[in-house]
Amino acid sequence: MTTYEQFIGPIHPGYVKPPSLEMLKSDRDIHRLLELDDLWARLSISHPSIDPDAITEALQLQPDDVMRAGDTIHQDKRFHVKCDRTRWNLSSGDIVSSPFPEAHLDWLLDQLYGKLPAIRSLQDQGAEFVINIHMEPWSRVVAQTLSVTTLQQLAQLRLELRFIIHYQNSESDY
């Protein structure tokens, strides 16, 4: 059997140029910033009047938080903001630790698996189903992808998808 060196000759140690110090620093900075990124997905179901307990019962899922129409969202000396409709939320934030939206969506879709009749019933009653992907990146460039399979599942369930991106470090070169 012929070895690599026998085939093309000895490998000169200077043949592969090592990365520059600037390149190593850039790589280290990018990885440090990526570790600071935060990402989660939240399924939000809203309706003008359905009780959140009815949504919980229909889906057989425990929400992370709920609000009823009329509940206080914020109150101070100048403002008293009230919720105008039922809000029922389920988040991947404390469950999924991936930096990729696909993993968070997969978890939410797994929670909804087999619940199409309940989802359709709620939608037929006027409930709005939205998944918000919350991203808090520390780098200036964000590139994410979603598979065709995930997009098909979202479409089958009639789930609207929104991306909310809040850049944490707009002064970074990366």
Residue 52 CA, distance from chain mean position? 23
Nearest 5°: phi and psi at 104?
-70, -40
33 domain residue, yes or no: no
For residue 137, the enclosing domain spans 38-165
List helix spans (H) across 16-142: 21-36, 52-59, 101-112, 116-124
Interval 102-111: pLDDT, tens: 999 999 999 9
Tokens 């057989």: give the residue: 60
Report the distance separating Cα 31 and Cα 39, nearest Å: 16
Report the b/e string of 138-147 with b at 16+ CB within 10 A: bbeeeeeeee
29 within domain boundaries: no
Residue 167 scores a pLDDT above 70:
yes
Asked if residue 92 belongs to a domain, the reply is: yes
Q: Label residue 174 by pLDDT band (50, 70, 90).
A: very low
Count of domains observed in the chain: 1
Q: Is residue 27 part of a domain?
A: no
Residue 170 forms part of a structural domain: no
Burial degree of 124 (CB within 10 A; 0-12, 13-18, 19+) = exposed
Between CA 105 and CA 40 the distance in angstroms is 9
Q: Is residue 20 part of a domain?
A: no
Residue-wise pLDDT tens digits, 51-104: 999 999 999 999 999 999 888 888 899 989 988 899 999 999 999 998 889 999
Per-residue model confidence as pLDDT tens digits over 121-150: 999 999 999 999 998 887 776 778 899 999
